[in-house]
Amino acid sequence: MALFHPVCLIDNDVDGKLFVKESALQILQKIEQPVVVVAVVGLYRTGKSYLMNRLAGKQTGFELGSTIESKTKGIWMWCVPHPTKAGTTLVLLDTEGLGDVDKGDSKHDTKIFCLAVLLSSTLVNNSQGTIDNKAIEELQYVTELTEYIKVKSSDDDEDDTEFVKFFPSFIWVVRDFTLEQKIKGKSVTEDQYLEFALKLKSGNSRPVKEFNLPRECIRNYFPSRKCFTFPFPTTSEKVSRLESLDSADLSFEFLEVTDRFCKFIFDKSEIKKLKDGYIVTGRVLCQLVKTYVDTISSGQVPFLENAVLTVSVIENESAVKEGLQVYQTGMEKLKDSFPLELRDVCAEHERLSSIATQTFMGRSFKDSEGTYTKCLEEEMNKLFDGYLHLNEEASKKRCENLLTTLSAPMTEKLKQGFYAIAGGYVLFSQDLEDIVKKYKTQANKGVKAEDTLEEFLKQKSVDSNAILQADKKLTETERKIMGERLLHPTTEHDG
Ligand SMILES: Nc1nc2c(ncn2[C@@H]2O[C@H](COP(=O)(O)OP(=O)(O)OP(=O)(O)O)[C@@H](O)[C@H]2O)c(=O)[nH]1
Ligand SMILES: [Mg+2]
């Protein structure tokens, strides 16, 4: 499922309130593949959209701005096939630049930042220049995360480490990096440079605490960190139209870091997972987006466990449906060969139930109480009862048809009064016995073979009785006539 262009996922309404775009949700809803979600955050006008386009392997896509006004609004999404992980979709989230003073809601940026953290498996923090105190202070939103995101609704005193189970890995990207990468005269790697910038000061004074707080937050919430320093991309005249430039116009070093950055994301960025390792597919991400945006935009604090619970309900309901579908499709096929013996229907029921349960398990999520497993079982048993009934009906019909065919000559004879003679009962009984014999030799009559025969014989016993009575009467009369003849042997001859 590839989208040829980015779409708006989360937008601002006229009052600046965030809302989800239904059309984008429909795209996510259809993605059954696991997703790697890379979100970029950072100050406005710092080349975030440009970088995301590079990740999509495209020159253009997310719109760039060429003025000083911030361009991207809300959160935009681009779903592309993962370039190196087959069967996986790469979801790129480009966010509205932070720090633009024109915004109405002072908490707007925090909300965007929180959503990026909540939805991504890799968070790219984009900044310009150097990682100095100013750059870290610009990431003040991390210090508010505990206020804006909670793990459980019950626990007041939360352990920061709980976040780690839900939070993305973290990449700090520095654009237009001009400094020499040296600490105390010694060359260092980009990662060492980042770790140096995040070093804590010792002491308990207020300035020290203020200095340490964002650093502590970054270190605690994002234990997996990586840094890339990008040099200035091109000459200053060309930089404002970067997307229309050939790679020949870009500096070699810039291209090298861009390639390394993209390769790192493709190789190391993990599939988005929920707590306990549950893999997020496009469909699950769709539920997460809905849940989180609804909560955040209504001014409430999203509880990660609640979101997981909401997703689990939706996913488990779908898992039951999917399992049931597998079962039903199989049983519908079996139905074509009804009537079957009970053991054959049962065997197929068992086989399909087990496949359906496996299908369910593949998708179910946190069904520790077994509520949905039970629900699937109950629904399958209900369907099974229906199929058993259909199998009985099919058997009954086949047996009835068979008996109608086998007894057709007898029916004709009855009509013509063939048995209405002395000794007719014996003839009728022989014919009936014949029918039963033939009936019993026929295969594939199904579960209702005995019952239907019994019912047939019950019906025939009415005829049988009538014939017996008539037979008795006729025999009696005949005997009487015979007796008369014996008594008066001449009468008849003479008469
Ligand atoms: N100096 C410099 N300019 C860049 C770089 N990357 C992109 N630009 C230019 O910066 C301008 C803004 O780029 P965008 O990618 O739109 O920046 P953004 O961070 O998405 O901006 P907002 O959406 O407004 O937050 C464009 O003119 C780009 O050509 C870079 O690494 N260095
Ligand atoms: Mg942008």
The pLDDT of residue 147 is 82
Residue nearest atom 5 in ligand 1 by C-alpha distance? 47
Please identify, by atom number, the ligand 1 atom nearest to the C-alpha of residue 50: 15
* Residue 495: per-residue pLDDT: 39
Fold of 7-302: Rossmann fold (3.40.50)
**62 in ligand 1 pocket by Cβ < 6 Å?**
no
The verdict on the CB of residue 56 being under 6 Å from ligand 1 is no
- Confirm if 124 and 39 have CB atoms less than 8 A apart: yes
pLDDT in tens, the chain (495 residues): 456 789 999 998 888 889 999 999 999 999 999 999 999 999 988 999 999 999 999 888 888 776 666 778 899 999 999 999 999 999 999 999 887 766 666 788 999 999 999 999 999 999 999 898 888 988 888 888 878 888 877 655 556 667 777 899 999 999 999 877 778 888 889 999 999 999 999 999 999 999 999 999 999 999 999 999 999 999 888 998 888 888 889 999 999 999 999 999 999 999 999 877 888 999 999 999 999 999 998 888 888 888 888 888 888 999 999 999 999 999 999 999 999 999 999 999 999 999 999 999 988 887 888 999 999 999 999 999 999 999 999 999 999 999 999 999 999 999 999 999 989 999 999 999 999 999 999 999 999 999 999 999 999 999 999 999 999 998 888 888 888 888 887 654 543
Evaluate whether 271 touches 88 at the Cβ level (below 8 Å).
Answer: yes
Residues of the chain with CATH 1.20.58.420: 316-402
- Residues of the chain within CATH 3.40.50.300 domain(s) are 7-302
- Distance of alpha carbon 358 from alpha carbon 373, whole angstroms: 10
Confidence at residue 442, expressed as pLDDT on a 0 to 100 scale = 95
Ligand 1 in reach of 240 Cβ (< 6 A): yes
CATH superfamily of 316-402: AHSP (1.20.58.420)
Alpha carbon nearest to ligand 1 atom 4, residue:
47
Q: Which atom of ligand 1 is nearest to the CA of 70?
A: 24
Q: Which of 59, 64, 109, 243 to mutate to test the pocket of ligand 1 (most atoms within 8 A of CB)?
A: 64
Residues near 144 by beta carbon (within 8 Å), at least 6 away in sequence: 110
| 97 Cβ inside 6 Å of ligand 1 | yes
State residue 18's pLDDT score. Answer: 92
